Amino acid sequence: MIYSLLLLASLALSALVQGYTPAPVTTNNPFPDVYTATLFDSPSSSIRGSITVIAGPGGVGLSFSVHFTGLPPDLGPFPYHIHVLPVPAGGNCTAAGGHLDPYNRGDEPPCDPSDPATCEVGDLSGKHGNATGSVFSTGYIDKYLSTVPSDPAFIGRRSIVVHSSNGARLNCGNFQLISGAQEAVTRGTLGVINETFSAPETFTTKTTTSRSTAIKATTSHPTSTKTTTTFPTRTSTHTTGS
């Protein structure tokens, strides 16, 4: 009886998500273009941080480095998503519009992280996990987002929004192509040595990584505080703290 109910529930969920196109894996993402979204210095939020993005190995998908601080524990866990519109200079996160969802999936039923192609492409936390704790750092490859301007899943001119567990928009920031990043990457000063760079599928760190296993890059946003992003090298080993 229980098995039958579970089967019916599964079939019902499948029916709900029918009628939209699963997201395709993106390819030919240009190396070494680097995009970063830095959260605003909002007087109404303690949350600060950034997300930095570069092409995945072989140009397939994108490699994300995520770092947030000042997350108020009583409001978590914290979903975060890529939204369709950029945020105006005043930092009004409501202006970001809805989630990036070029294949009209919608946010119901909830994203199944075991089948990320069936999720909204902008639902980063749905695919890779919510932000937790007061300080949160993680990295992953997302195969369904793009830095190709003509791709429907292009992250440029979009924004990132951090939400409370009840969906309220707590802070946000706009993705921008880093000026001079291509030259920095070519020189190896942005944590990526060459086009054979390969990040692990998933890594999470809560402690400072030694210089022998990571290269740090400092980026800034004209309306935000300076943040530091850590990229893994090809030989890095990442561990999770308690």
pLDDT, tens digit, for every residue of 141-190? Answer: 999 999 999 999 999 999 999 999 999 999 999 999 996 555 555 444 44
CATH number for 19-232 (one of 2.40.50.100, 2.60.40.200, 2.60.40.10, 2.40.50.140): it is 2.60.40.200
The amino acid occupying position 207 is T
Torsion of the alpha carbons at 112, 26, 163 and 177, rounded to the nearest 10: 170
The segment with the largest mean pLDDT, out of 9-23, 115-129, 187-201, is: 115-129
Domain ranges of the chain: 19-232
For residue 48, list its beta bridge partners.
Answer: 69
* C-alpha closest to that of 221 among 168, 187, 171, 176: 176
What pLDDT does 20 receive? Answer: 73
* C-alpha closest to that of 83 among 160, 180, 164, 195: 160
First to last CA, the chain: 41
For residue 82, list its beta bridge partners.
Answer: 160
Q: Kindly report, residue by residue over 37-71, the tens digit of the pLDDT.
A: 999 999 999 999 999 999 999 999 999 999 999 99
Q: Tell me the pTM.
A: 0.71
Question: Assign residue 124 a region: left if phi > 0, alpha if psi is -120 to 50, beta otherwise?
Answer: alpha
pLDDT band at 21 (very low <50, low <70, confident <90, very high): confident
Over range 121-136, report the average pLDDT: 98
What pLDDT does 107 receive? Answer: 86
**Distance in angstroms (rounded) separating the CA atoms of residues 70 and 23:** 33
Contacts (Cβ under 8 Å, ≥6 apart) of 171: 39, 40, 42, 45, 47, 48, 91, 93, 161, 162
Q: Kindly report, residue by residue over 183-230, the tens digit of the pLDDT.
A: 555 444 444 433 333 343 443 333 333 333 333 333 333 343 343 444
What pLDDT does 126 receive? Answer: 97
Q: What is the DSSP string of the chain?
A: -HHHHHHHHHHHHHHHHTTSPPPPPP--PPTT-EEEEE----TT---EEEEEEEEPGGG-SEEEEEEEE---GGG-SB-EEEESSPPPTT--GGGG-SB--TT---S-SPP-TTSGGGS-TT-HHHHH--B-SSSEEEEEEETT-B--TTSTTB-TT-EEEEE-TTS-EEEEEEEEEPTTHHHHHHHTTTS--STT----SEEE--SPPPTTTEEEEEE--TTS--EEEEEE-TT-------
pLDDT at 10 over 90: no
pLDDT band at 13 (very low <50, low <70, confident <90, very high): very low
